[in-house]
Structure 1
């Protein structure tokens, strides 16, 4: 695969690097190789959760020990702290092993010697030397302090941080490729099966208004009434003066929907996972999460101070094996998964994961951001999908911004646990409550979900139609099944950008997901299917996708006839006409 520019989504994590020593210095060995290897293995054990006596110096950290980019960053940062003069070589991150890294440090090939520690002299010896030097017993004059070298701007100005400069370079990539920046496009109204950008209506697969509730007249009217009754803000923490009757109604009905004893809502979905995970576990604990877990889960792990370890995606047997080796080392072990995975559209193997959880005395938390309202016969999520006894899962979390039509998050479980969180979890206690409008919108959407289960059925039919047509067209949709999240895996960030632009010109809005948000070979478009899409719209979209993928393939093969110009946007089907035709 040809190399592609580093295209923007999020900066790839990198270990902070100390300034390199002057080039004229000769590399100084850091010490005995065996001692350095032992120290490196100690860091690997701490980060990976494997006992150090089960590690080998030749084990690939990524392939065998499950290291991801954040774990490698943690490792290299720790090594830099122990050996400050180690000049990090990016080749160390290419299929690294503890032995290879230790060799780079120990041999001095990366100038990795420990920083010199000043020798403390005995005070009497110092005085004697001074008397000998001056001959009159007078204390020596302190040498003048050398003039401090000016600090580099990358340490004192945010705009000069290397990562800020690198981000600017990634954004500039769009100008060099001649492609439109696909991010921060302004959508000029509500987003359902269609959207409006720059005054032009497009068929939309770029928003997760799965059930059409975010634009439903009853939901909108409820939000307006809440503003009239309670204003635009809760104006305080819920713990103090920020609670409103709407909050209590929403929490009671969420708990009932989820089959739990109680629930609490927070003002932001991402922050819900961050603050709950960060609050419940800490040093001495282990958080082990699916390798495709959402950023909010990773940030919660980082905040907690617990050891973090991913397990292979949706692989209960691999999770079982890891816990069999390491469970005894930790006080608490929290397993965190998603109900529906937001990039791949597959469903967690919840029954098998619950068995593993019980076998090892672990806790289980499920993020239902993309599964509540979308799977299960009546939209009650992955628990309903599998017929799970709800207390078998310790924490059910999710967001209110997708099927439930507003903005916020929730966590549900046993009453004692939820009450503890209401009084102690920082993201709830030290934040204003959900706005009255958001609360009323989600409450009304939840009630519509119960009153109109046909919305869930229609969503399932639309998703199944898209998947069936895409597979028949030879589109690589990965493992997506039975969910409204369907990727089109292209495997090249630049091609993915070109595909998104070609579809945009044909009147279809769909988001590109690029490296480093996903590995380069997994760069993709991500289609969100909704209950409001019509079968005709779905057929038109898949047909256009098949044609544009064919043009990309022809361009790669050097066939100018098949890789001709994309159709004029004026010739694209009118989304409104497609809806009427269906």
Structure 2
């Protein structure tokens, strides 16, 4: 056998071993694979997406779930605005599966702002902003975000995921180190991979481990970036920001905080993790957030120094080569931000109902993991099949809550994930938890 054929044979063997390992993990959860389709096309593995490893694994999971009678929890169709309640299959249900934490998506002022922007600017700005897509509403929104963070400038992107991918991927390179919490969002991981920098995860919220890793590795790299989230969407907990600022200063590193779920949620007036921790906005180098949750739009933003933002505005590929944020979306986000400042009682109501939820859940003996009890509260069931069945049974009882299944989390951590709204009532919380307890 030639060396080329030997290498090819070894590569195929390694691929098959990887697939076999994935299959064993799926089978350990009680699922059995369906028989593969036969094919006479010798080239099908090179020309058919049915042979893609991801697709094959997906079919194993879907067919096994069907065999076990577990309904799919994905792609439920909401027939209107999804807040504390929503309409699914023409049935009004209590909703715990949306990020509409402050009930601003669908608010009359937000809707009107979007309508007015459509009237004035249309539904698309029809070009990248650097070419001819710039509109006054973009600048108004960016100035408002920067002012809220008390930093020099901000920049909005058309996608939250692309915000992290493009920012991290552009700013850092092969001579740099990116060190992040192991639970960081996929967008930050993809951005790190794109950059070509060395990437090292540290144990979730273990800042001693972060400090130790930086002590060991900092001297080998030029720039170093630490990436964490303001509020983790799977577990509902947050890091010690004051300690993170100390660590980043000690090791001459940049600190980036992804506030996708924490902005508008944490802090007495919803200004996010920095308000919760009592830290100045300028103490963090890169603030990132999304426009799709408490800001009721779509897209993402970066806030920080003027030099950071100007660099991204002219050279970040995800901004430079992308169409500008639609004016109605920018207007909706700006109106939402103004309402957050104007009506801080929404944040207080969210905090109050969240605390009520977690206290009642714990009193019933339900496992809420590490959640701090603000907006995001998991109830860990320890089995993907159990979580999927519980979600389906809850929907039958008029409660919409999504299961989080393996491989999104380890099998032992499979859960129902509850997103709270400031408009949820005590009666809805009690009914939901009593129903879940009886089902379990």
TM-score of the aligned structures, taking structure 2 as reference length: 0.91
Distance 1:402 1:179 in 2: 30
Aligned residue number for residue 253 of structure 1: 144
Does residue 492 of structure 1 match 2:379? no
Matching residue within 405, 409, 416 for 1:518: 409
Structure 1 residues 430 and 545 mapped into 2: Cα distance closer, same or farther (>3 Å)? same
How many Å apart are 1:174 and its aligned residue?
3.0
Distance 2:65 2:211 in 1: 45
Check whether the contact 1:340–1:483 (CA below 8 A) recurs between aligned residues: no
SS of the residue corresponding to residue 161 of structure 2 reads helix
Check whether the contact 1:20–1:87 (CA below 8 A) recurs between aligned residues: no
Check whether the contact 1:267–1:434 (CA below 8 A) recurs between aligned residues: yes
SS of the residue corresponding to residue 385 of structure 1 reads helix
Matching residue within 128, 149, 160 for 1:237: 128
Aligned residue number for residue 395 of structure 2: 504
Aligned residue number for residue 545 of structure 1: 436
Aligned residue number for residue 337 of structure 1: 228
Aligned residue number for residue 260 of structure 2: 369
Superposition misfits of 4+ residues, deviation over 3 angstroms = 17-21, 84-94
Count of matched residue positions in the alignment of Structure 1 and Structure 2: 417
Distance 1:158 1:293 in 2: 29
Distance 2:7 2:124 in 1: 45
Does residue 529 of structure 1 match 2:409? no
Aligned residue number for residue 464 of structure 1: 355
Distance 1:498 1:377 in 2: 37
Check whether the contact 2:70–2:385 (CA below 8 A) recurs between aligned residues: no
Distance 2:199 2:21 in 1: 19
How many Å apart are 1:181 and its aligned residue?
1.1
Distance 2:13 2:429 in 1: 58
Distance 1:291 1:165 in 2: 27
Which runs of 5 or more structure 1 residues have no equivalent in the other structure?
A: 1-16, 22-79, 95-149, 550-582
Superposed CA RMSD in Å reads 1.9
What does the per-residue CA deviation read over 1:249-292, in whole Å, with 9 as the maximum and x for residues that have no partner?
Answer: 00000111111110000001111011101011110111100011
Aligned residue number for residue 328 of structure 2: 437
Does residue 350 of structure 1 match 2:238? no
Aligned residue number for residue 117 of structure 2: 226
Structure 1 residues 418 and 91 mapped into 2: Cα distance closer, same or farther (>3 Å)? closer
Does residue 210 of structure 1 match 2:101? yes
Does residue 409 of structure 1 match 2:300? yes
Structure 1 residues 527 and 348 mapped into 2: Cα distance closer, same or farther (>3 Å)? same
What does the per-residue CA deviation read over 1:487-532, in whole Å, with 9 as the maximum and x for residues that have no partner?
Answer: 0111110011111111111100000110011111111110000111
Structure 1 residues 394 and 19 mapped into 2: Cα distance closer, same or farther (>3 Å)? same
- Higher RCO structure (Cα 8 Å, ≥6 apart): 2
In terms of Rg, which structure is larger? 1
Distance 1:536 1:245 in 2: 44
Does residue 319 of structure 1 match 2:210? yes
Structure 1 residues 487 and 166 mapped into 2: Cα distance closer, same or farther (>3 Å)? same
Distance 2:374 2:45 in 1: 46
Which runs of 5 or more structure 2 residues have no equivalent in the other structure?
A: 1-5, 23-40
Structure 1 residues 339 and 86 mapped into 2: Cα distance closer, same or farther (>3 Å)? closer
Distance 2:109 2:19 in 1: 58
Does residue 300 of structure 1 match 2:300? no
